[in-house]
Structure formats: C-alpha cells, structure tokens
C-alpha cells in the first residue's frame, strides 16, 4: 500500500477538513480527494462521512487510524535507520522536530535551547507551537507534535508520558502605583479577593489554581465576587497590570525585565509554589533522532 495514502488519511482525520489537509501536505485539494477515494476503494469501506462542516471519521475510519499511525511510525523508523545520524550516514543529525509549549516558555526558556541546538546540530529544523496542555496532549496523540512541554503539577494520561525537567517560579504582580505595591502589609487572600485579576486563559494550571482559590473564599456580605479576566497572551495580561488595572500571576522569567525597569513590582502576600515543567511524549510512538537531540539539549539547559 502506498504510504502517501495513509499520510493523507491521518492528516485528514486530524484536521477534519480537505482544505486544511491539502494545505498541511502542500498538495492540491483534489489530490487529497483522490488519495482518500483510492484508499476507500482498496479497503472496500468508507472512511469518512463528507459533511458540510467537514470530514468525519466513520467507524471503519476510527478503527484504521491507530493502525495507519503505526505503519507510518514504522516507515519513519526504517527511513531514519539505526544510526544516530537519522539515516544520513555522515554522522549529522537532521530532521524536523515539532514542539508544543506554553507561550511563557516559548518566549523565555527556549531561545537559548534553540541557539545551542543550532550550534550542535545545524541540520535540525525545530518548529515551535505555543499551546496549552489540552492542545499539546491532543497534538501528541495525533502525531502533529513530536514532544511537548507542560506547566502542570501532574499529567496523568494513559497514552502520554510526562517527566519533570525543571520548575518555574511564579510571581504575583501589580503596577508600582497600586496600593499593594508598598508591601508594608502582606496581602491576605481576603484582600486579594477584592482585586481585579488578569490571568492567562483557562487550561493554564497556575491561573486556574488561583481562580479556584479565590472563588472558594467565604462570601463577604455586600462584597463583589473576584473579578477575573482571562487572556491567551502573556503580553496582554502583563500590559493590563503595568497600566495599573489590577494584578496577575505569571512565571517570573516572563516579567524579569519589567521588574528591573520598575514597570511591575511583586506583591507581598500568599506564597505560590513553583510550577513543574514536564517533558511530554507519546507513550507508544517512536522518537526520531532529531527529537532525541532536541530533548537532550532542552534538558541540559533547563536543569542547569
């Protein structure tokens, strides 16, 4: 069987769109249609329901998907060969590594990793995708991501392994002119509950934890509930707080420059535990030499 048909099938299963699959595979949409029809004719069963909203796997398609992924995984392993050079035969590791990572790590921790990796392995191409935990896990399961970084206390997924490689300190922050900026009297949880918070979007473990803690406080008569605004961007949350609109909780690495410049200050108050950085991979899927080289460089930098 032509593995191109399986590659098209798994891509369409992941994207749910003939247009999106064609764009990802860099082929015409008609080519995707021909590949799927050919595969369905060879197997004698329909693999997708064609709906106005997209392509939906049939029962036969869902049964085929893990088998197709196993075949493509085996082909990738054979093409890479047994050597650390990824089959190149010249001792150089080459290939593409697709990495899912929270935005905060993408902006602060990974640039140094990329510089070191480029120096050691110039033939490795790394693609970074800023994503939360749910999107990263889905990407590992679908094969869209090779490895992922998660900012979570734990990650209990049957098909994904996650090992701690570092810890990120957190900082509770406000603008210099905010009443809590003086630090004369550390803020209590009850005091914090009266503030407005600008947090990262739902799915961010430390933001979700802060929200749960604030909402669990006993209600105070005539007091407004905690005001929480969620953003998908560290920059947006940081800018709102620097403008004096409220407080935020962010990894310290994302605000070090702002603290040095005096645009933000740390709030004296409840302590927040460092959040673990977990290196996640699919439990069954083969890891290519290029992905191994990336993770080695990543761990070397994060554990220093």
Mean of the pLDDT values across residues 191-209? 91
pLDDT band at 47 (very low <50, low <70, confident <90, very high): very high
pLDDT band at 81 (very low <50, low <70, confident <90, very high): low
pLDDT at 25 over 70: yes
Residue environment code for 147-180, b if the CB has 16+ CB neighbours within 10 A, otherwise e: bbbbbbeebebeebebebbbebebbbbbbeebeb
What's the pLDDT at 222?
57
**Alpha carbon distance 230, 244 (integer Å):** 16
The overall average pLDDT reported for the chain is 88
Q: What percent of the chain has pLDDT over 70?
A: 94
pLDDT at 256 over 70: yes
Choose between 238 and 284: higher pLDDT: 238
Rounded to 10 degrees, what is the CA torsion of 226, 240, 254, 137? 60
pLDDT band at 73 (very low <50, low <70, confident <90, very high): confident
Rounded to 10 degrees, what is the CA torsion of 76, 78, 80, 85? 160
**Alpha carbon distance 57, 65 (integer Å):** 9
Domains and CATH numbers, the chain: 3-80 (1.10.10.10), 95-168+276-302 (3.40.190.10), 170-272 (3.40.190.10)
Mean of the pLDDT values across residues 95-118? 90
pLDDT at 39 over 90: yes
Identify the burial level of 230 via C-beta atoms within 10 angstroms of its C-beta, where 0-12 means exposed, 13-18 middle and 19 or more buried.
Answer: middle
Identify the burial level of 201 via C-beta atoms within 10 angstroms of its C-beta, where 0-12 means exposed, 13-18 middle and 19 or more buried.
Answer: middle
Unique residue bearing structure tokens 């957190």? 170
Tokens in use for 75? Answer: 């082909």
What's the pLDDT at 88?
47
What's the pLDDT at 6?
92
**Alpha carbon distance 252, 173 (integer Å):** 10
What's the pLDDT at 163?
93
What's the pLDDT at 255?
95
pLDDT at 225 over 90: no
- For strand 147-151 and strand 95-101, is the pairing parallel, antiparallel, or unpaired? parallel
CB atoms within 10 A of CB 254: 22
Tokens in use for 165? Answer: 């490689």
pLDDT at 244 over 60: yes
What's the pLDDT at 60?
94
pLDDT band at 70 (very low <50, low <70, confident <90, very high): confident
Mean of the pLDDT values across residues 192-219? 90
**Nearest to residue 283, comparing CAs of 163, 167, 165, 164?**
163
pLDDT at 90 over 60: no
pLDDT band at 220 (very low <50, low <70, confident <90, very high): low
Mean of the pLDDT values across residues 279-292? 87
What's the pLDDT at 86?
47
pLDDT at 290 over 50: yes
């Amino acid at each position: 069987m032509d593995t191109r048909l399986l590659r098209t099938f798994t891509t369409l299963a992941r994207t749910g769109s003939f247009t999106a699959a064609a764009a990802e595979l860099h082929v015409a949409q008609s080519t995707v249609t021909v590949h799927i029809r050919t595969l369905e004719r060879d197997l004698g069963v329909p693999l997708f329901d064609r709906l106005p909203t997209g392509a939906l796997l049939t029962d036969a398609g869902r049964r085929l998907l893990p088998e197709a992924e196993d075949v493509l995984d085996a082909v990738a392993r054979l093409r890479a060969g047994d050597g650390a050079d990824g089959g190149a035969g010249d001792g150089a590791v080459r290939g593409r590594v697709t990495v899912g990572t929270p935005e905060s790590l993408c902006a602060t921790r990974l640039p140094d990793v990329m510089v070191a990796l480029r120096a050691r392995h110039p033939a490795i191409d790394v693609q970074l995708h800023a994503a939360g935990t749910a999107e990263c896990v889905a990407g590992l399961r679908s094969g869209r991501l090779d490895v992922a970084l998660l900012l979570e206390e734990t990650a209990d997924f049957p098909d994904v392994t996650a090992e701690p490689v570092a810890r990120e300190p957190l900082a509770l922050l406000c603008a210099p002119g905010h009443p809590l900026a003086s630090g004369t009297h550390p803020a209590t949880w009850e005091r914090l509950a009266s503030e407005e918070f600008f947090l990262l979007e739902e799915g961010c473990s430390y933001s979700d934890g802060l929200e749960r803690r604030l909402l669990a406080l006993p209600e105070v008569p005539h007091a407004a509930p905690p005001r929480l605004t969620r953003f998908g961007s560290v920059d947006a949350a940081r800018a709102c707080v620097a403008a004096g609109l409220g407080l935020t909780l962010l990894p310290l690495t994302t605000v070090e420059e702002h603290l040095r410049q005096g645009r933000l200050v740390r709030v004296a108050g409840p302590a927040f535990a460092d959040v673990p950085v977990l290196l996640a991979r699919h439990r069954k899927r083969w890891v290519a030499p290029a992905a191994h080289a990336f993770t080695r460089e990543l761990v070397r930098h994060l554990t220093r």
